[in-house]
């Protein structure tokens, strides 16, 4: 078993060495092409190069530079992609804003309902207080009226008694 593992390990090491060698060769080849200064350094990465290849193959442009060249087309698409990305973010934010507005509406509606409830309770308690005050005032007025009548009656009695015995 150990010999099989050692053989497999050696094969993997050889395979890794071959891959590293292929990678180094590819990197050297890429650097040779870049050193030819055909593509501006700003665009020397996979996405830009593959986009340029597609533009040229599709006939969307016929050169790299210039007003209708691949660089300009790539920059335009990159900006449009940024705009689309930003629009997607705006749309995403709009749904969040819509949710927040709904939540705000619910809170305002609930606040209005509670305000109405508290106002109605306040009015009711104020009316009860006023009714109670009026009842007390009416009762007090009645008592005062009775006291006045009683005093009037007592005054008449006293006047009658004093006139009767002073004669």
Model confidence pLDDT, tens digit, residues 22-46? 999 999 998 998 999 999 999 898 8
pTM strictly above 0.75: no
Q: What local confidence, expressed as pLDDT, does residue 97 receive? A: 79
Taking alpha carbons only, the member of 134, 138, 132, 133 closest to residue 146 is 138
Domains: count for the chain: 2
Residue range of the domain that includes 25: 1-36
108 plus 63 within the same structural domain? yes
Same domain, 75 and 14: no
**Residues 13 and 44 placed together within one structural domain of the fold:** no
**Is there a single domain that holds both residue 159 and residue 86?**
yes
Structure tokens at 52: 């340029």
Residue ranges in 59-69 assigned as alpha helix (H): none
* Gyration radius (Cα) of the chain, Å: 50
Same domain, 90 and 161: yes
Q: Looking at the structure, do residues 8 and 83 belong to the same domain, yes or no?
A: no
Same domain, 109 and 29: no
pLDDT for residue 90 is more than 80: no
User: How do residues 52-66 score in pLDDT, each as one tens digit?
Assistant: 999 999 999 999 999
Count of Cβ atoms closer than 10 Å to residue 68 Cβ:
11
pLDDT tens readout for residues 2-25: 888 888 888 888 888 899 999 999
Q: What is the largest CA-CA distance in the chain?
A: 156
For residue 30, how many other CB atoms are within 10 A of its CB? 13
- Does residue 89 share a domain with residue 32? no
Q: How far apart are CA 134 and CA 141, in angstroms?
A: 10
């Amino acid at each position: 078993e150990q010999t099989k593992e050692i053989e497999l390990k050696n094969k993997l090491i050889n395979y890794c060495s071959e891959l590293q060698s292929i990678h180094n060769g590819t990197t050297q080849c890429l650097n040779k092409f870049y050193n030819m200064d055909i593509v501006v350094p700003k665009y020397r990465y996979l996405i830009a190069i593959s986009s340029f290849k597609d533009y040229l193959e599709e006939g969307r442009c016929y050169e790299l530079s210039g007003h209708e060249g691949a660089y300009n087309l790539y920059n335009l698409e990159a900006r449009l992609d940024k705009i689309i990305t930003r629009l997607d973010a705006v749309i995403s934010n709009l749904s969040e804003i819509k949710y927040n507005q709904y939540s705000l509406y619910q809170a305002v509606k609930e606040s209005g309902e509670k305000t109405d409830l508290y106002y109605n309770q306040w009015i009711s308690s104020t009316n009860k207080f006023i009714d109670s005050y009026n009842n007390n005032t009416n009762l007090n007025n009645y008592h005062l009226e009775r006291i006045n009548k009683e005093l009037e009656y007592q005054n008449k009695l006293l006047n009658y008694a004093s006139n009767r015995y002073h004669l």
